[in-house]
A and B are shown apart, each in its own frame.
Chain A
Amino acid sequence: MTELMSREDFRTALETAIKGNTATKSPFSIAWATGRLSRDHLARWAENHYHYVGPFADYLAYIYARTPDHYIDAKDFLLQNMYEEEIGGDRHTDLLIRFAESCGTTRERVENPDNMSPTTRGLQSWCYAVAMRENPIVAVAGLVVGLESQVPSIYRRQTPTLRDKYGFSDEEVEFFDLHIVSDEIHGERGYQIVLEHADTVELQQACLKICGIGAQMRLLYTTALWHDYVKDDLSREDAEAVLAA
């Protein structure tokens, strides 16, 4: 029978659940990191990514409203996270749009939901469903630990490539730089909340399961970007090199 894990063991189990499906393994991420994408590909990425991360404060707001008021630290973290996404400095989606524009697309195209792929729509819908329906601690595990905490490691790998291989300026890639700091805070605070409040076997197991699913959803999303926009544009040698990596 499964037993209640210590916080240390539970954290290791959460990290393992994410690692199995980390988005850095997707062909789109590999093509990005190896400099094989065009600015058109990156524009399509931005047009999709906007609809996944754009409503992040909305997802968190649903969780916030359903979190019991005696979970003061957890609620304050969610509020802080929402504030930072939207009005703490530059609105994060504005920085994403600045990057998109430097790839040759427009604010209108980015904001238009008709330009996201069905898989992106699926990821966005899953995020809303988790935020609205799951136990709030389980929802934090899925959205913050399972999804947001992956971002620093992904962008730490991709941002130098944007400057060095794709030739973007510092200001054009600010969206990625800021997420290395803010998502490191958000991801770690998410872990703290889940480790503290998932205090039954059932809650721990539900958190582990949704963390794995969250990572799986992000992998699905980035893999679809490869199939929908990239693979037919690359030479056979390049496509094979990406898939073999």
Chain B
Amino acid sequence: MPKITIHRDGEAHQGDIAADSNLVVLAGIRKFPYPHLSYMCGMGKCGTCKSRIVAGAEQLPEPNWREKKTLGDEALAEGYRLVCQLRIFEDFEIEQEGPVRGPRKRTP
């Protein structure tokens, strides 16, 4: 099972996922990487899931048209990707900046 690591504000959150998974789909169904992943539209439009790839980039396909449009050449060259557009097969390590953004559970 691929091991996922999410770095944010000096902390590392780790969990295992099934191979051939999309991290935003998993977070959307409230499995790890929920609640540690920032995401929103799942369409490659809003850029909320923008992540810098720390390790595991070799398993990824070339950026698709949405990533090129939303992130631009400079961010892509710096190693950023939109995780909503990616399926993960092997260990993968990313860094996201700022507080976690996305759908949250209501506090009872």
A contact set with B: CB distance below 8 Å: 72-73, 76, 80, 84, 88-90, 170-171, 174, 177-178, 181-182, 184-185, 188-189, 192
Selected A-B contacts with CB under 8 Å, 30 pairs: A72-B106, A73-B105, A76-B103, A76-B106, A80-B103, A84-B42, A88-B40, A89-B43, A89-B46, A90-B43, A90-B45, A170-B65, A170-B66, A174-B43, A174-B66, A178-B43, A181-B22, A181-B24, A181-B25, A181-B43, A181-B84, A182-B42, A182-B43, A184-B22, A185-B24, A185-B28, A185-B42, A188-B25, A188-B28, A189-B28
Q: Which chain A residues border B106 with CB–CB below 8 Å?
A: 72, 76
**A185 closest partner in B (C-beta):** B28
Residue of B nearest to A189 (CB): B29
Q: In the complex, how many angstroms separate the beta carbon of B98 from the nearest chain A beta carbon?
A: 20
Cβ distance B108 to chain A, nearest Cβ, rounded Å: 7
Residues of chain B lying within 8 A (CB to CB) of residue A72: 106, 108
Asked if B64 is at the interface (CB within 8 A of a chain A CB), the reply is yes
Question: Which one of A89, A171, A192 lies within 8 Å of B29 (CB-CB)?
Answer: A192
> What CA separation (Å) do A225 and B45 show in the bound complex?
32
Task: For B65, give the chain A residue with the smallest CB separation.
Answer: A170
For B22, the chain A residues whose CB sits under 8 A away are 181, 184
Asked if B41 CB lies within 8 Å of chain A CBs, one says yes
Q: Are B64 and A88 in contact (CB under 8 A)?
A: no
Establish whether residues B41 and A88, one from each chain, have CB atoms under 8 Å apart when the complex forms.
yes
Q: CB-CB < 8 A to B40: which residues of A?
A: 88-89
Interface size on B, residues (CB 8 A): 20
B42 contact set on A, CB distance < 8 A: 84, 178, 181-182, 185
- Residue of B22, B42, B46 contacting most chain A CB atoms (<10 Å): B42
Contact partners of B30 in chain A: CB under 8 A: 189, 192
Chain B residues within 8 Å of A188, by CB: 25, 28-29
B25 / chain A contacts, CB cutoff of 8 Å: 181, 184-185, 188
Residues of A within 8 A of B45 (CB): 89-90
Add 9 more A-B contacts to A89-B45, A188-B25 (CB < 8 A): A72-B108, A76-B103, A84-B42, A88-B41, A89-B41, A174-B43, A181-B22, A185-B25, A188-B29
Q: In the complex, A73 Cα to B104 Cα: how many Å? A: 10
- The smallest C-beta distance from B75 to any residue of chain A, in angstroms, reads 19
| Complex alpha-carbon distance, A177 and B22, angstroms | 14
- Find chain B residues with CB under 8 A from A171 CB: 65
Residues from 94 to 108 in B contacting A, C-beta threshold 8 Å: 103, 105-106, 108
Interface centre among A73, A76, A177, A181 (most CB of B within 10 A): A181
CB-CB < 8 A to A174: which residues of B? Answer: 43, 66
Q: Which residues of B contact A192 (CB under 8 A)?
A: 29-30
Q: How far is the CB of B22 from chain A (nearest CB, A)?
A: 6
Interface core residue of B29, B30, B41 (most chain A CB under 10 Å)? B29
